[in-house]
Amino acid sequence: MSSPSQTQTVTLAGGCFWCLEAAYTTIRGVTKVVPGYAGGTKPNPTYEEVSGGATGHAEVVQVSFDSKVITLKEILEIFWAIHDPTTPNRQGSDIGTQYRSMILYESVEQKKAAEDSIKAVAKLWPSPIVTELVPLETFYPAEEYHRNYFERNPSQAYCQVVINSKLKHLREQFASKLKA
């Protein structure tokens, strides 16, 4: 008899939430990925408001995972591999505070794991890590049309060029962590 799952949730920002969602949905042990907005001040922001850059929010994903299958440390290792944590307020051609790199923690344990992960990954990058480490105050789910965006729009240009490239890298680097 298998033991019950140990579900945890962490909120991550690393550029466009479509990219992060597409990546994490392929990972074994990840049970749910919800795109949304966090880190800002405006209550109940819309995509258009967040895209305008005035809300303070970033595009984020809430990643729920079974910690008996995949650890937070491993979730964060994937996070570092699928975005550039050294570019402030930008990922590729996506520019603005809404595309900044952040880990929004929900507990002292998550904060410690993130701090350890940042220290470890800092040794791998030639430039300083600019990823913000902040407590999650409020998460606002994105509009329904953003959910499973890559899965529903695989031939859209952004999906073809940007997301497919990230997924190819993910498959090469983390093949043992992918869902069957």
> Would you please indicate which residues are annotated as catalytic (active-site) residues?
16
Please check whether residue 42 is in contact with residue 55, taking contact to mean a CB–CB distance below 8 angstroms.
yes
| Secondary structure letter of residue 27 according to DSSP | B
Cα distances (angstroms) measured from residue 35 to each of 14, 38, 63, 85, 122 = 12, 10, 9, 19, 26
Which neighbouring-strand residues pair with 101? 14
Q: How far apart are the C-alpha atoms of 38 and 14, rounded to whole Å?
A: 12
3-state DSSP helix/strand/coil % of the chain, to nearest 5: 40, 25, 40
DSSP helix/strand/coil, 159: helix
